[in-house]
């Protein structure tokens, strides 16, 4: 996951899937106000579409994580997102030792779909590498953060992962609650001998 919030990524991917590409050049101050309004309208429409698709799923996020982790014994989920560009799937990256696997789990059937991608930690960009290495040492797992976030937000999680913000490493979980998406940030217990800034 990039540094951008999972919430923004979900909304953006849904907006792209819903609207397709379009370009329009305008040369006035009103154009920027209209663009902001259109962006807000597009985000609202994207959120409605994500929530509508998510309500039809039969596989909760925690079950999708368990399915992906069983594919590679001893692995743990590094991040997961709900995608609706085609059939609704959870895209999950799991980690064990120096290997990372990316799989798609059908959100309605729980079946593994598409081609698995495998890569080593060495192939990750610097930001993802730091998060994945930290994940190896954090006692709490993403599944724990999902349970806490779902209870706190009163809904069902549809995405989650580790994210560094303001020098702190946090689990960020996006929860569908009623007609809204809520972003819940949870700071994992500190690793003995480290502070948040050391990670």
| Token digits of residue 117 | 């991608």
The helix (run of H) or strand (run of E) holding residue 185 is: strand 180-186
Selected residue with higher pLDDT from 113 and 8:
113
Whether residue 20 is predicted with pLDDT greater than 70 in this model: the reply is: no
pLDDT tens-digit map of 89-116? 999 999 999 999 999 999 999 999 999 9
Whether residue 126 is predicted with pLDDT greater than 80 in this model: the reply is: yes
pLDDT band of 11, cuts 50, 70, 90: very low
- Residue 120 and residue 99 in contact, taking contact as beta carbons nearer than 8 Å: yes
Q: What beta strand segments (E) does 24-178 contain?
A: 76-83, 89-96, 99-106, 112-120, 156-165, 168-177
At residue 154, the pLDDT reads 95
Q: What is the number of other CB atoms lying within 10 angstroms of the CB of residue 23?
A: 4
pLDDT band of 27, cuts 50, 70, 90: very low
| Token digits of residue 1 | 């996951």
pLDDT tens-digit map of 135-149? 888 888 999 999 999
Whether residue 44 is predicted with pLDDT greater than 60 in this model: the reply is: yes
- Residue 169 and residue 162 in contact, taking contact as beta carbons nearer than 8 Å: yes
């Amino acid at each position: 996951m990039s540094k951008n919030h999972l919430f923004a990524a979900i909304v953006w991917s849904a907006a792209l899937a819903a609207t397709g590409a379009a370009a329009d050049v305008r040369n006035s101050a009103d154009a920027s106000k209209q663009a902001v309004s259109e962006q807000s309208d597009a985000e609202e429409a994207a959120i409605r579409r994500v929530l509508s698709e998510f309500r039809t799923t039969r596989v909760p996020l925690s079950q999708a994580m368990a399915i992906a982790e069983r594919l590679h014994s001893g692995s743990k989920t590094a991040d997961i997102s709900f995608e609706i560009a085609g059939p609704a799937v959870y895209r999950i990256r799991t980690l064990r030792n120096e290997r990372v696997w990316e799989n798609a789990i059908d959100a309605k059937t729980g079946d593994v779909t598409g081609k698995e991608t495998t890569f080593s930690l060495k192939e990750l960009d610097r930001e993802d590498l730091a998060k994945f290495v930290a994940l190896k040492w954090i006692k709490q797992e993403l599944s724990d953060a999902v349970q806490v976030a779902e209870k706190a937000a009163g809904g069902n999680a549809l995405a989650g992962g580790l994210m560094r913000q303001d020098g702190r490493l946090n689990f960020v979980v996006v929860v569908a609650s009623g007609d809204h998406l809520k972003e819940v940030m949870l700071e994992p217990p500190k690793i003995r001998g480290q502070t948040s800034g050391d990670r």
